[in-house]
Amino acid sequence: METEQKHIIREVWVNACRFLLAAVFIFSGFVKAVDPLGSFYKIQDYLTAFGMASWFPDYLQLLFAIVLSALEFSVGVFLFFGIKRKFATTMSLLLMIVMTPLTLYLALADPVSDCGCFGDAWVLTNWETFGKNVVLFVAAMSAFRGGKLIGRFITAKVAWMVSMYTFLFVFTLSFYCLSNLPILDFRPYRIGQNIKKNMEIPEGEKPDVLEGRFILEKDGKRQEFTLDNYPDSTWTFVEARTVVKEKGYEPIIHDLSITSLETGEDLTDSILSDKGYTFLLVAHHIEAADDSNIDLINEIYDYSVEHGYGFYALTASSEEQIELWRDKTGAEYQFCGVDDIALKTMIRSNPGLMLIKEGTILNKWGDNRLPDEYVLTDRLEKLEIGQLKQESDWRTIGYVLLWFIVPLLLVVGVDVLVVKRREEKKPEDESASDEASESAGEEIQGETTDETTEKPENELQETPQA
């Protein structure tokens, strides 16, 4: 009895760990799949922090980001359904063996602000991430050691259908969001957000207290100074940096500054306070931007000039690269300098287009979905794209679940109503056939016995006659 109780407790524990891992991996894989470029940027942050950014070309980093999201999502689905148990438990353990010490290093050294394990959907500190991974490591170890105790929801005969559809779904989702824009936007620049409001510090909150630090050198010796103890002119300036002396309230958007590259003027407030419409062409690196739709971009610029709307190109590229872009595309719009990270956060497309009014984001388009002459037929005030695009995250999630869960439910239904019923009938049929074969065997055996018993009698009868 005691052994049976221990077995039940262990089985409950293993399956609890299995469902915890399934939930985390499905969520993590999904939020990465809907924002593959976000995962790509995070991988770039990792490689830059470790001095390995030049080791791998961009397309390999992007491919790795897509494969990682597909792997996490698939492992989570496999664990949930209890299929491919050896593969799922082994991969979950391997992932945690890699990620747990890595996140410990991130917590200690702090080379990147967050690990990006849940994308922008749920940002954790490095220490929170490490604590989470310790729990998941224990769960992965328990699931790996007790893999045979993981219960199945479907039979092995239809498991391949679930696994194949899972891979197909998650890869299709990633490439769709890569070609267009993420179907779910968790960033502060999503449609409906007011950029200017997100940059403000609420009344009563204290901002960060910043302090300038200066590295100077004298006689081959470098030393750090502040404004309070800045040395004389015998020291040679090396570099300057700003540190947070006292942490205060940090606005949702804290790194946006739009500077005119022609005059050096800060245009942030004037652009975000403009009561009219403004198009923002976002190209974080103009030299790497896709120029296949440049004619359409020029048409949108001409349209904005014709109707008196603002049009600015935001980039982090050098003036030399901007001039090359102008020569190649004939661009006449004004360029402004913006921080690279801020531009990547604004829109997951290079280039991408945003429409704002009084700082509120009304619409966003990726390079493949720019509005054309068939859409821009009148003033924006009279057009649908000039109104705030109505989006609902819950409705989007509902559509995604519909595409993923409904086919799986059909598979489960077939499994329950057809496959399992056949398997339940199979033992009865086998036993009936066994009984028939056994009775047939007995009849054959009986006939053989009769023949053998009759044969000596005949021989006995023939012998005396001889």
Give the DSSP letter string of 289-313.
S--TTHHHHHHHHHHHHHHT-EEEE
Residues 172, 128 share a domain? yes
The DSSP output letter for 371 is -
Tell me how far apart the alpha carbons of residues 293 and 276 are, in angstroms, rounded to a whole number.
Answer: 26
Kindly state whether residue 172 falls inside one of the protein's structural domains.
Answer: yes
Q: In terms of C-beta density within 10 A (0-12 exposed, 13-18 middle, 19 or more buried), how is residue 138 classed?
A: middle
pTM of this structure: 0.78
Tell me how far apart the alpha carbons of residues 344 and 350 are, in angstroms, rounded to a whole number.
Answer: 9
Kindly state whether residue 446 falls inside one of the protein's structural domains.
Answer: no
Q: Which of 91, 76, 81, 90 is nearest to 155 (CA)?
A: 81
How would you classify residue 165: left for phi > 0, otherwise alpha for psi between -120 and 50, otherwise beta?
A: alpha
Amino acid of residue 461: Q
Tell me how far apart the alpha carbons of residues 100 and 133 are, in angstroms, rounded to a whole number.
Answer: 5
pLDDT for 120 equals 80
More confident residue, 238 or 376: 376
* Res. 417: pLDDT tops 70: yes
pLDDT for 209 equals 74
Residues 107, 170 share a domain? yes
User: Cβ distance 330 to 298 under 8 Å?
Assistant: yes
* Res. 446: pLDDT tops 70: no
More confident residue, 136 or 50: 136
pLDDT for 451 equals 40
Residues 344, 287 share a domain? yes
Domain boundary among 366, 390, 414: 390
Residues 44-89 pLDDT 10s:
888 887 788 778 888 899 999 999 999 999 999 999 998 889 999 9
Longest dimension (CA), the chain: 145
Tell me how far apart the alpha carbons of residues 38 and 119 are, in angstroms, rounded to a whole number.
Answer: 7
Kindly state whether residue 433 falls inside one of the protein's structural domains.
Answer: no
Residues 212, 329 share a domain? no
Sign of CA dihedral 22, 28, 29, 30: positive
Average pLDDT, the chain: 83
Q: Which of 290, 293, 309 is nearest to 370 (CA)?
A: 293
Kindly state whether residue 65 falls inside one of the protein's structural domains.
Answer: yes
Residues 172, 31 share a domain? yes
Residues 157, 301 share a domain? no
Residues 222, 85 share a domain? no
Residue 369 belongs to domain with CATH number:
3.40.30.10
Kindly state whether residue 408 falls inside one of the protein's structural domains.
Answer: no
> How many CA atoms lie within 13 Å of 179's alpha carbon, on the beta-carbon side?
6
User: Cβ distance 69 to 182 under 8 Å?
Assistant: no
Residues 64, 32 share a domain? yes
The arithmetic mean of pLDDT across residues 100-109, rounded, is 88
Kindly state whether residue 122 falls inside one of the protein's structural domains.
Answer: yes
Domain boundary among 246, 280, 301: 246
Residues 126, 55 share a domain? yes
Domain total for the chain? 3
Percent of the chain with pLDDT over 90: 38
Residues 39, 139 share a domain? yes
Residues 269, 304 share a domain? yes
User: Cβ distance 316 to 286 under 8 Å?
Assistant: no
Question: What is the domain range of residue 233?
Answer: 203-246
The arithmetic mean of pLDDT across residues 312-320, rounded, is 90
Strand partners, 210: 244
User: Cβ distance 154 to 412 under 8 Å?
Assistant: yes
Domain boundary among 331, 366, 390: 390
Tell me how far apart the alpha carbons of residues 48 and 175 are, in angstroms, rounded to a whole number.
Answer: 25
CA distances 257 to 205, 277, 350, 427, Å, are 21, 19, 19, 73
Angle at which helices 58-81 and 2-33 cross, to 10°: 150
pLDDT for 460 equals 38
- H-type alpha helices, 126-267: 126-145, 156-179, 195-198
Q: Copy the structure tokens of residue 340.
A: 């690279």
User: Cβ distance 74 to 170 under 8 Å?
Assistant: yes
pLDDT for 279 equals 96
The arithmetic mean of pLDDT across residues 256-270, rounded, is 87
Kindly state whether residue 58 falls inside one of the protein's structural domains.
Answer: yes
More confident residue, 54 or 189: 189
Kindly state whether residue 118 falls inside one of the protein's structural domains.
Answer: yes
pLDDT for 78 equals 94
pLDDT for 453 equals 39
Residues 60, 11 share a domain? yes
407: which residues sit within 8 A by CB, 6+ positions away? 165
The DSSP output letter for 393 is H
Tell me how far apart the alpha carbons of residues 212 and 453 are, in angstroms, rounded to a whole number.
Answer: 114
